[in-house]
Amino acid sequence: MKEKLSPQYDPKAVEKRIYEVWEKSGFFNPDNLPGERPESFTIVLPPPNVTGTLHMGHALNATIQDILIRYKRMRGFRTLWIPGTDHAGIATQNVVEKNLKKEGFSRHDLGREKFLEKVWGWREKYGDIILNQLKKMGASCDWSRTRFTMDEEYTRAVQEAFMHYCKKGWIYRGDRVVNWCTKDATSLSDLELEYKEENGMLWYIKYPLKDGGSITVATTRPETMLGDAAVAVNPEDERYKGLVGNTVILPILNREIPIIADAVVEKEFGTGAVKVTPAHDFTDADIGERHDLPKFQVINEKGRMTEVAGEEFVGLKVAEARKKVVEKLKVLGVLEREEEYTHSVAHCYRCDTVIEPLISKQWFVKMNELGKMAAKAVEDGQVKFYPERWNKVYLEWLSKVKDWCVSRQIWWGHKVPIEGSTDVLDTWFSSALWPFATLGWPEETGDLNKFYPTSVLSTARDIINLWVARMVFSGLELTGKKPFGDVIIHATILAKDGRRMSKSLGTGVDPMTLIEKYGADATRFGLIWQAMGGQDIKWADEHVLAGQKFANKLWNIARFILVKTKDASIPQKPADIKDETTVRIIQDLDTLTREVERQIEVYDFGQALHDIYEFVWHEFADKYIEYSKNKDDEETKHALSFVLTRIVVLLHPFMPFVTEEIWSHLPNRRGLLMVEKW
């Protein structure tokens, strides 16, 4: 007989020991699970950056995935949850560079080879911190299958994917306007930008017509006018119909440029006439292609003005050039007016530098065919979003998707596998292979045959386009199969006042602090309790405290029943019950079981937890246990024992530590709860 349950539940005394028992059992590995399990259930952990530590979003997502894995494991599935980390190109390079800077070095002082040695050393030392934190959350991943997006086998998969696209004719190198971070000296995709509302100025500038008169354009970036190739108006704008085809003289440089008509011009913006700078604006680049305009690059990759901008501006930083251009326009008498203007400005998602759109030679993946197949997968129902409303976000992006710039001018990452190239691939190119490369693709491995396609992906809404869409078309094109069937878009956790959680804003909450204070089960409870309907969560620690109280309540229920029943054997479901109150509690338990199953299957984890809580605390503890205190018959004891065993089974996916510990004290238990039949 095992020792009695202690008077109080102490997570610190239980969690580390229980997790070691789980790991020692080998049951995180599907190959070691007991019994016949013909059907597999697979989840790939969205790989956190090696630079990362656990934040509340990670904690919520890990809890959701662990609930599913534990539930399916108990339902008899061959469950596999694959963990791993992402090399996170720019993010990791920035972290290591900051450390070098403290020592008085830059990566250029070291050179590429020695710098990469430093990065690998940093990764070995710090790269798995977040995975160890997930263990403290109770994550039942198969750690023996842990992957890294730059391990040797994964690197082969990345090269294979790139060459596959090359053979299809979908890879090309070209001069295109890209988002350029002047600090990191690399291109970025649209999805790697963060937009901030900023107060600036809108300058109205008169461009003299060659034959007399003028046309006024409005711009927030007067320094780029030095690269203007045209002035554009909307063809339906009656104000300018007589001017289309005329020539204007570009102020300062006196370059002759045409007035053209293009439907993309918004009549309502500014004066309805816009300057066209094909080398420094995406919309202008498209206009330039349609009208065969020249490209004048006036800002270089270091964020300084080029010789094309003119002798008096060359070498100036953008802000300096802006100031000097405005002064020059005033002197020339062509600055009509200026007004305050609030607009959205793109910043690098890693270093916060303002992005400069400029022309650069980059590697691209053609997205026409890939975009169509990714859209069709959702339109046909092969891939389903939960909640369904996220279909629209996914499909809208794909309907307008542009060719994917996959090259980056940094050192840490997968080198573009073309002889002579020094670029590395976009981190998301390798991440897009995660559901199948982790299982051995491009080799026909046993794992790939058994566990692919994966079953469910759980992720955040901000990477639907960055990652989910790219995994879908990568899976379909490279394996001929969808990478997963269901996509859960979980809630975003906000600070209590509704602001985003951020260390810099002082609004962040550290889940490890919550675990230390309340325990992992209570933290999981607090996360899932608030995750209702995929709506954003305004975080409140009070729900974690409620989880702690619930764990204690369950503990006390178990102590009471074990004493009252004198450690009777785990019973089967009671039959031929005569007492009406006992009949009702068993019926309510049956109803609860069906509802919890239904809710988990449609990913309504919050409602499932609410229902279990309501039954345990109010129906079972407050009513039936109170009723049982004056009864000593075997039927009542039988019912108490049976309901307790079913409660710990139902609650195990949500609160695995306390339930496993209680289970271990039940007499004649059948092995570990984590593999008990649901």
52 falls in which pLDDT band (50, 70, 90)?
Answer: confident
Question: What Cα–Cα distance (Å) separates residue 671 from each residue in 25, 140, 143?
Answer: 10, 17, 22
571 falls in which pLDDT band (50, 70, 90)?
Answer: low
SS3 content of the chain, % helix, strand, coil (to 5): 45, 20, 35
484 falls in which pLDDT band (50, 70, 90)?
Answer: very high
pLDDT in tens, 359-418: 989 999 999 999 999 999 999 999 999 999 999 999 999 999 999 999 998 999 999 999
Provide the 8-state DSSP code for 368: H
Q: Directed axis angle between helix 112-126 and helix 89-102, to 10°?
A: 100
For the cut 90, the answer to whether the pLDDT of residue 176 exceeds it is no
**Distance (Å, whole) CA 191 – CA 197:** 17
CB-CB contact of 85 with 438 (8 Å): no
For the cut 90, the answer to whether the pLDDT of residue 337 exceeds it is yes
Show Cβ contacts of residue 418 under 8 Å, excluding neighbours closer than 6 positions: 363
For the cut 70, the answer to whether the pLDDT of residue 262 exceeds it is yes
CB-CB contact of 348 with 181 (8 Å): yes
Percent of the chain residues past pLDDT 70, beyond the cut:
98
For the cut 60, the answer to whether the pLDDT of residue 657 exceeds it is yes
670 falls in which pLDDT band (50, 70, 90)?
Answer: confident
Tokens of residue 247, six digits: 């020539």
How many Cβ atoms are within 10 Å of 554's Cβ, its own excluded? Answer: 25
Strand order in the sheet with 193-208: 214-219, 193-208, 335-348
- Cα dihedral sign, 592-597-602-607: positive
CB-CB contact of 94 with 413 (8 Å): no
33: three-class secondary structure by DSSP? coil
**Distance (Å, whole) CA 527 – CA 520:** 11
Domains defined for the chain, CATH in brackets: 33-166+382-398+427-490 (3.40.50.620), 190-348 (3.90.740.10), 538-675 (1.10.730.10)
2 falls in which pLDDT band (50, 70, 90)?
Answer: low
Reported as type and span, the H/E element at residue 525 is helix 520-529
How many Cβ atoms are within 10 Å of 23's Cβ, its own excluded? Answer: 14
Tokens of residue 126, six digits: 């710090």
Show Cβ contacts of residue 150 under 8 Å, excluding neighbours closer than 6 positions: 87, 413, 414, 430
Report, as an integer, the average pLDDT of 188-192. Answer: 77
Strand order in the sheet with 273-276: 247-249, 256-261, 230-233, 273-276
**Distance (Å, whole) CA 150 – CA 87:** 6
Residue that the structure tokens 């990913």 belong to: 603
Average confidence score pLDDT of the chain = 93
Tokens of residue 502, six digits: 């951020």
**Distance (Å, whole) CA 403 – CA 396:** 15
CB-CB contact of 202 with 219 (8 Å): yes
Residues facing residue 259 across a β-bridge: 231
**Distance (Å, whole) CA 346 – CA 353:** 9
Question: What Cα–Cα distance (Å) separates residue 38 from each residue in 33, 450, 532?
Answer: 11, 10, 33
**Distance (Å, whole) CA 474 – CA 426:** 14
Q: Which 3-state string (H, E, C) describes 225-244? A: HHHCCEEEECCCCCCCCCCC
Select from 76, 227, 156, 16 the least CA-distant residue to 437: 156
> CA 532, 86, 508: angle at the middle one, nearest 5?
45
**Distance (Å, whole) CA 528 – CA 15:** 19
pLDDT for the residue numbered 1: 41
pLDDT in tens, 437-473: 999 999 999 999 999 999 999 999 989 999 999 999 9
Kindly report whether the peptide bond that precedes residue 442 is cis, defined as omega within 30 degrees of 0.
Answer: yes
How many Cβ atoms are within 10 Å of 456's Cβ, its own excluded? Answer: 20
**Distance (Å, whole) CA 616 – CA 607:** 14
CB-CB contact of 45 with 65 (8 Å): yes
Q: Is 428 buried (19+), middle (13-18) or exposed (0-12) by CB count in 10 A? A: buried
pLDDT for the residue numbered 504: 62
The torsion angle over the Cα atoms of residues 659, 660, 666 and 669, rounded to 10 degrees, is 130
Please count the residues of the chain. 678
Tokens of residue 18, six digits: 């229980």
